[in-house]
Amino acid sequence: MFAVLRYERGTLRIDGDVHIPFARWDGRSNCYRALAYKYRDILDFLKNSGIDFEDHVQENVIPCPYFDVEIELRDYQAEAVERWIVDKRGIIVLPTGSGKTYIALDAIGRLSVSTLIVVPTLALVDQWMDRLSILFGRSYVGEFTGRRKDLKSITVTTYDSAYVNAEILGDKFLLIVFDEVHHLPAESYRQIAEMSIAPYRLGLTAVYEREDGLHTLLPDLVGGVVYELKPRDLAGKHLANYVVERVKVPLTDRELELYRKKAKRFRDYVASRRIRLSDVEDFRQIVMMTGIDRDAYEALRSWEEARRIAFNSKNKLRVLRDLLEKHKDDKIIIFTRYNDLVYTISRIFLIPAITHKTGDRERRYVLDGFRSGKFKAIVTSQVLDEGIDVPDANVGIIVSGTGSCREFVQRLGRLLRPAKDLAILYELISKDTGEVRVSKRRSGLLGKLK
């Protein structure tokens, strides 16, 4: 028996007189085919079965020098690397601010093979590029995004660019690092992993679970969780101790009247269609129905308007004013759900704002000013929730947010820096609204994560 392996457009082509597990017969090409990510499994099968084969799959892999680098890691970071290096596959789950990037840098140096790093945003591309260039040398570090196409031994890309170019990138790298790996199971993004031959895979995240349950795909795509610590495990030593204070804020009479009217319209629709809102999928069904059902569209619109009323309550701004005065000597990050509230808070309290509309130069100016103490507070929507290095702060105020446990943990992580003795996270919750129920549900989930 004999087999020949080649890479073709995100798949493995296997010619020969041997049946290969993980592969299916392609009658049009008269060969077996498998998705590229099964490359390692197929190699193991061929070697363990004593089957002769020719391997042409790695012919386009980018050469990589041996990186003689040494990174000083904290004890838990070193332990995480050692757990991962056993099989060179798997996911590391650590709180925001715990230095997951340094774990990846150490793994890259130790393997010294061509590496693709996939991140959610261009801001994170820049952040990774800076760190990689300092450690490994700029001549070995490339960027593959909409801005430039520069393939090097170590290349940084975004999930969007990697998905669009999955066939091109699939046979160039032997190690693939998924930063914020919880993005990967999305229907489009998972193709990045499926169409890559990379036998070595590392995932990084602060919260492993997805509310839609798709995290169950990750062990097949990247590997299982090989190391995990919760915020409580690092609090007080490597990260700050912290408290979470939930402040219930009443709506104004007019806001409460309008909220109840909008919320009732949504509830009535759900009841009329006998829909049980027990999970994300149930809600997604309503979203899908809006294209064909006018009542569904109006109900969903009413639900969104009710949420906006609760999130943007005028009384929350009064409480925010009191908290800003109470913590005038602290460094504060204010989080909101909607950009219009970001700009309202920025205008009323003369606080610099950062949203997805903020340009790179302005964002750097604001963050540098916050770092130096020129600005004592900043207000943002969701753009600072994930990945971006944010200067030390010891007080966070969530004026409004989603029910996502991941979002809450990420925002808490913005405050858990080693230099701080105690971090305080305030969550402003509108009384007599769905925010109370969501906060209770999230508290239950967080109890498992802390």
Reported as a single tens digit per residue, the pLDDT across 362-406 is 988 998 998 888 999 999 886 664 555 666 788 889 888 655 566
- Helix, strand or coil, per DSSP, at residue 284: helix
Within-domain flag for 364: yes
In the predicted structure, residue 417 carries a pLDDT above the cut 80? no
Quick one: 290 and 336 in the same domain?
no
Quick one: 372 and 433 in the same domain?
yes
Q: What is the pLDDT of residue 288?
A: 79
Quick one: 175 and 120 in the same domain?
yes
- Helix, strand or coil, per DSSP, at residue 421: coil
Within-domain flag for 70: no
Within-domain flag for 427: yes
Quick one: 94 and 194 in the same domain?
yes
Within-domain flag for 67: no
Within-domain flag for 66: no
In the predicted structure, residue 15 carries a pLDDT above the cut 80? yes
Q: What is the pLDDT of residue 19?
A: 85
Reported as a single tens digit per residue, the pLDDT across 156-214 is 999 999 999 999 999 999 999 999 999 999 999 999 999 999 999 999 998 888 878 89
- Helix, strand or coil, per DSSP, at residue 362: helix
In the predicted structure, residue 55 carries a pLDDT above the cut 90? yes
Quick one: 144 and 198 in the same domain?
yes
Reported as a single tens digit per residue, the pLDDT across 259-295 is 999 999 988 988 888 877 766 667 777 887 888 888 8
Quick one: 246 and 276 in the same domain?
no
* Count of structural domains, the chain: 4
In the predicted structure, residue 418 carries a pLDDT above the cut 70? no
The mean predicted confidence, pLDDT, of the chain is 88
Q: Which of 210, 147, 145 is nearest to 184 (CA)?
A: 210
Quick one: 245 and 225 in the same domain?
no
Quick one: 188 and 108 in the same domain?
yes
Quick one: 213 and 350 in the same domain?
no
Which DSSP string corresponds to 288-331?
Answer: HHTTT-HHHHHHHHHHHHHHHHHHT-HHHHHHHHHHHHHTTTS-
Domain span at residue 34?
Answer: 2-60
Within-domain flag for 69: no
Quick one: 306 and 322 in the same domain?
no
Quick one: 45 and 80 in the same domain?
no
Q: What is the pLDDT of residue 423?
A: 79
**What's the pTM value of the predicted model, to 2 decimals?**
0.75
Within-domain flag for 235: no
Q: CA-CA distance, 249 to 251, in Å (whole number)?
A: 7
In the predicted structure, residue 450 carries a pLDDT above the cut 60? no
CATH number of the domain residue 26 falls in: 3.40.1170.30
Please, which residues have CB within 8 angstroms of residue 44's CB and are 6 or more apart in sequence? none
**Considering 163, 195, 229, which residue would you say is the last residue of a domain?**
229
Quick one: 203 and 89 in the same domain?
yes
Within-domain flag for 47: yes
**Considering 273, 295, 311, which residue would you say is the last residue of a domain?**
311
> Which range (65-74, 210-219, 238-247) has the least confidence?
238-247
Reported as a single tens digit per residue, the pLDDT across 323-363 is 999 999 988 989 888 888 999 999 999 999 988 888 888 98
CATH number of the domain residue 136 falls in: 3.40.50.300
